[in-house]
Chain A
Amino acid sequence: MANYNPETGLVGEGVKFERIRRITGYLVGTVDRFNDAKRAEESQRVKHTVVKPVEKN
């Protein structure tokens, strides 16, 4: 699984990181299998802060 190359002594060449993301409720092991629209959507997601906003008067 680790893709060892005896010539260079390197392990893992060409092995990609797995990035688990949620799509329409289901998890997907890698964004590679997302369709184009979902890839675009995922890349634009911003994070939400958990600090309560200051109440406006």
Chain B
Amino acid sequence: MLNGIIKRDGRVVMYDISKIKMAILKAMEADGKTDFAKAEEIAVNVENHFVERGANITPTVEEIQDQVEVELMKAGFDSVAKRYILYRASRNNIRERNTSLMKIFDEITFSDALNSDVKRENANVDGDTAMGTMLKYGSEGAKDYYLKFLLAPDQAQAHKDGYIHIHDFDFYALTTTCTQIDIKRLFKDGFSTGHGFLREPNDIASYSALACIAIQSNQNDQHGGQSIVNFDYGLADGVAKTYRKLYLKNIEKYCEIVECPIDYEQLKEASYDITERTGKMPALKADETYLAEELAVLEKLIGDKAIAEKAQKFALKKTESETDKATYQAMEALIHNLNTMHSRAGAQTPFSSVNYGMDTSAEGRMVMKNMLLATEAGLGHGETPIFPIQIFRVKDGINYNPGDPNYDLFQLAIKVSAKRLFPNFSFQDAPFNLASYNPDDVRTEIGYMGCRTRVVANNYDKNNEITYSRGNLSFTSINLPRLAIEAKGDEAEFYRNLKKYMDLCGKQLLDRFAIQKKKKVRNFPFLMGQGVWLGSEGLGPDDEVGEVLKHGTLSIGFIGLAETLTALYGHHHGEGEEYQAKGLEIVGFMRNVVDEMCEKTGLNFSLLATPAEGLSGRFVRMDKKRFGRIAGVTDKDYYTNSFHVPVAYQISAFDKIRLEAPYHAFTNAGHITYVELDGDVSQNLEAFEAVVRAMKEYGIGYGAINHPVDRDPVCGYNGIIGDVCPRCGRRDGEGVPLEKLQKLGLYKHLNASTLGQCGNPDEEADRIPNPLV
């Protein structure tokens, strides 16, 4: 007699010999030779085999089945054994198919993204394409593996049960999140993408193309988005080079026209020679020293002082507008590129962001102006560009007030954002952003990833408290509302558990970091191989990246402060100052915990107002199941983002900003405040600006204004569309008579036979601006 049997899931159940007998009989039946006595005999032999091995033996189901096969063969039932083996295999298949992973694969394969939440987990991955599906298989398979093999059991349990959420879990053992790329440094002397070497670019068009490539290459090395931290300063160099090139060409051109041709190479050489001697060059802001030196050279080359002077004048007059035009085209190309290029096996457009606003050089200003104008114009059919996220740095004395050198650009940024939702605004003067700012070091200017991630303080290396070339390593969020519900009004219990789960997150982030640390430079051919990451420039391909990764941040995030407060105290922070005080207490507590982790480890732990996309639904679904519907807590399909006042709560823009600003100071890993405006804000720029200014005055670090931006692809109307398109009068999905569109001045050159599948350039050119009434 056996003690019991260990089932596949590890449970021990009562041993029952009749089950073995039944399985043997089924195999015999399938083979057409049922023999009850023999079946009984073989079953007893199987049992005896184990009994002989020891008194207290508890075999597994698999071991029993193996032995059944052996005994069937011994008894000469070879063909029955074969049946038995087939039967076993098919049972295994069914079992395997029923595991959650295989079910998920099934959903990925056969459901439309429209009906499958799994496939819409990330709105920028097209789950319907082959590459998107392949990416999803990999992602779900990897998650299953990490849960079962890599994570410490308590962490795996907390993640599965929805107490914590390990973000980008599919990349758990592979890479880190994001980087603020310093393109100025990257472009210096050129770089290699791993598929070829690119020389240092020589005009603004190549600068813009290479900026896109940098984002794309780095995105393939990391799991998060990518940002260019110095879009203004970085691309300004390209403008300067374009100016110089066009300027010399214009001199050549003038001389050619007045029939005093000069040798271009000689001219170029002379110009560079002056630069070498004086450090001056032809530039948007004309330099007298250079011009005087150049005039002397020109006089010699041409042999006529008057013509030399005129050539200079001509070049000075022409080159600025030509450079401006070239810059606009480069910015237009950059936006088009970033909206159409693919990364990660073609399944995703790189998540790109660019920061700018404080470069006051003529070249940097030209970059920003044209970036904003190209954004305002939109894509080929007037669509609002989705990428890159643009973040305009607002700063007193630089662009905030009339008289500031970049005030015009701040005004333009407001105008463009009121039409296109970008740029967002970051605030250098928010006390926590100002704290690390050093006007003599641009690398200390604040930078945000589009999603909100922020890195500047550096507990690992106080000499590198900078934004440039750093980023987040990984982050994990806490289900705050769950802890609040479980505390049942007991504040102390809530804080005890909060501390417990933050410690668990801290431990988990360190475990993940231990894996990340062991990676080598060759695992990140661009990020580390090309020296994009701070400190990596001195490393060889086989060096471990552990030490330089310490510049990055390990962040603990949270979701649903509003629901947490409601669960604990009956109201959220929008509903009364006493609840706001409680909210600040909770988030302040969390900040203290991460600060202590910094002290203890010497690493960069930080607190994040989590940008939850998939998570907003995941936690609440689980909590609804656990606790049922709790008013103001689990009664919606999502938990409110981080510390936000609930989106459905009526509140003025200014009150929302005032209430949310203090949380920005606590959440040093990143934060964003949104304000929702109604109607066509492009017709009310004053209101828009008032909101931006309020953000700055109240100490918001990073903010954005949401307003409806709709587009009808049929008539090209861009603005607000209710049920009916204000231009062509159709409803969503309805057709419009061709004549009606032609009366609007559209499709003029088209008739039934020429109206095809693709946009027609003539038609595009025919489109007229839309009346706004």
Which residue in chain B gives the minimum CB-CB distance to A53? B652
Chain B contacts for A15, CB-based, 8 A: 713-714, 733
Query: A1-B758, A13-B735, A49-B653 are contacts. A6–B638 as well, Cβ < 8 Å?
Result: no
B691 touches A50 (CB 8 A): yes
Size class of the contact patch on chain A? 35 or more
B678 CB-CB contact with A under 8 Å: yes
Chain A contacts for B616, CB-based, 8 A: 37-38, 41
A27 vs B339: C-alpha distance in the bound complex, in angstroms?
11
A26 touches B451 (CB 8 A): yes
Chain B contacts for A12, CB-based, 8 A: 713-714, 728, 730, 734-736
A25 touches B704 (CB 8 A): yes
Most buried by A among B386, B616, B710: B616
With beta carbons under 8 angstroms apart, the residue of A11, A17, A33 that contacts B747 is: A11
Bitwise interface map of A from 24 to 46 toward B, beta carbon under 8 Å scored 1, else 0: 11111100111111101100111
The A-contacting residues of B in range 608-627, CB under 8 angstroms, are: 611-614, 616-618, 620-621
B734 touches A36 (CB 8 A): no
Bitwise interface map of B from 649 to 672 toward A, beta carbon under 8 Å scored 1, else 0: 111111110000000000000001
Nearest-neighbour CB distance to chain B for A56, whole angstroms, equals: 11
Give the interface of A toward B (CB within 8 A).
1-6, 8-29, 32-38, 40-41, 44-53
A45 vs B725: C-alpha distance in the bound complex, in angstroms?
22
A34 vs B706: C-alpha distance in the bound complex, in angstroms?
16
Which residue in chain B gives the minimum CB-CB distance to A25? B451
Nearest-neighbour CB distance to chain A for B675, whole angstroms, equals: 5
A48 vs B675: C-alpha distance in the bound complex, in angstroms?
6
B733 touches A52 (CB 8 A): no
Give the interface of B toward A (CB within 8 A).
113-114, 117, 120-121, 123-124, 126, 225, 351, 381, 383-384, 386-387, 389, 421-422, 424, 449-452, 611-614, 616-618, 620-621, 636-638, 641, 647-656, 672, 674-678, 687, 690-691, 704, 706, 708-714, 721, 725, 728, 730, 732-739, 741, 747, 752, 755, 757-759
Chain B contacts for A21, CB-based, 8 A: 706
B386 touches A20 (CB 8 A): yes
A21 vs B672: C-alpha distance in the bound complex, in angstroms?
16
Most buried by A among B620, B712, B728, B739: B712
Chain A contacts for B758, CB-based, 8 A: 1
- State the majority secondary structure of interface residues on A: loop
Chain A contacts for B620, CB-based, 8 A: 37
A5 vs B114: C-alpha distance in the bound complex, in angstroms?
26
With beta carbons under 8 angstroms apart, the residue of B389, B677, B752 that contacts A48 is: B677
B733 touches A14 (CB 8 A): yes
A46 touches B649 (CB 8 A): yes
- The 8 lowest CB-CB distance pairs between A and B, nearest first, are A37-B617, A10-B735, A12-B714, A40-B637, A13-B735, A47-B678, A48-B653, A24-B611
Chain A contacts for B691, CB-based, 8 A: 50
A40 touches B737 (CB 8 A): no
Q: Can you list 22 A-B pairs with a CB-CB distance of less than 8 A?
A: A10-B737, A11-B714, A11-B737, A14-B733, A15-B713, A16-B733, A17-B710, A17-B721, A20-B710, A20-B711, A25-B452, A26-B124, A26-B351, A33-B126, A34-B120, A35-B120, A35-B613, A36-B617, A36-B637, A45-B676, A50-B690, A53-B652
Query: A26-B386, A40-B636 are contacts. A46–B676 as well, Cβ < 8 Å?
Result: yes
With beta carbons under 8 angstroms apart, the residue of B451, B621, B725, B736 that contacts A17 is: B725
Chain A contacts for B736, CB-based, 8 A: 10-12
Knowing that A26-B124, A37-B618 touch, tell me 5 more A-B residue pairs with CB under 8 angstroms: A1-B381, A24-B613, A46-B676, A47-B677, A49-B653
B612 touches A24 (CB 8 A): yes
A12 vs B733: C-alpha distance in the bound complex, in angstroms?
7
With beta carbons under 8 angstroms apart, the residue of A9, A41, A46 that contacts B638 is: A41
A26 touches B450 (CB 8 A): yes
A5 vs B757: C-alpha distance in the bound complex, in angstroms?
11
A38 touches B389 (CB 8 A): no
A28 vs B617: C-alpha distance in the bound complex, in angstroms?
18
Which residue in chain A gives the minimum CB-CB distance to B618? A37
Chain B contacts for A51, CB-based, 8 A: 652
Query: A17-B721, A23-B123, A28-B124 are contacts. A46–B734 as well, Cβ < 8 Å?
Result: no
Chain B contacts for A45, CB-based, 8 A: 647-648, 676, 706
A26 vs B123: C-alpha distance in the bound complex, in angstroms?
9
B121 touches A35 (CB 8 A): yes
Nearest-neighbour CB distance to chain A for B347, whole angstroms, equals: 13
Nearest-neighbour CB distance to chain B for A7, whole angstroms, equals: 10
Chain A contacts for B738, CB-based, 8 A: 4, 9-11
A34 touches B636 (CB 8 A): no
B734 touches A25 (CB 8 A): no
Most buried by A among B114, B387, B738: B738
A16 touches B704 (CB 8 A): no
B676 touches A48 (CB 8 A): yes
Nearest-neighbour CB distance to chain A for B699, whole angstroms, equals: 18
Nearest-neighbour CB distance to chain B for A9, whole angstroms, equals: 6
Nearest-neighbour CB distance to chain A for B122, whole angstroms, equals: 8
A48 vs B676: C-alpha distance in the bound complex, in angstroms?
5
B117 touches A36 (CB 8 A): yes
A10 vs B691: C-alpha distance in the bound complex, in angstroms?
43
A11 touches B124 (CB 8 A): no
Chain B contacts for A32, CB-based, 8 A: 114
Nearest-neighbour CB distance to chain A for B511, whole angstroms, equals: 26
Query: A11-B736, A41-B647 are contacts. A22–B706 as well, Cβ < 8 Å?
Result: yes
Query: A6-B752, A18-B711 are contacts. A48–B687 as well, Cβ < 8 Å?
Result: no
A17 touches B732 (CB 8 A): yes
A53 vs B659: C-alpha distance in the bound complex, in angstroms?
14
Query: A26-B386, A28-B386, A35-B123 are contacts. A16–B732 as well, Cβ < 8 Å?
Result: yes
A28 vs B113: C-alpha distance in the bound complex, in angstroms?
15
Query: A25-B452, A35-B123, A41-B638 are contacts. A19–B708 as well, Cβ < 8 Å?
Result: yes
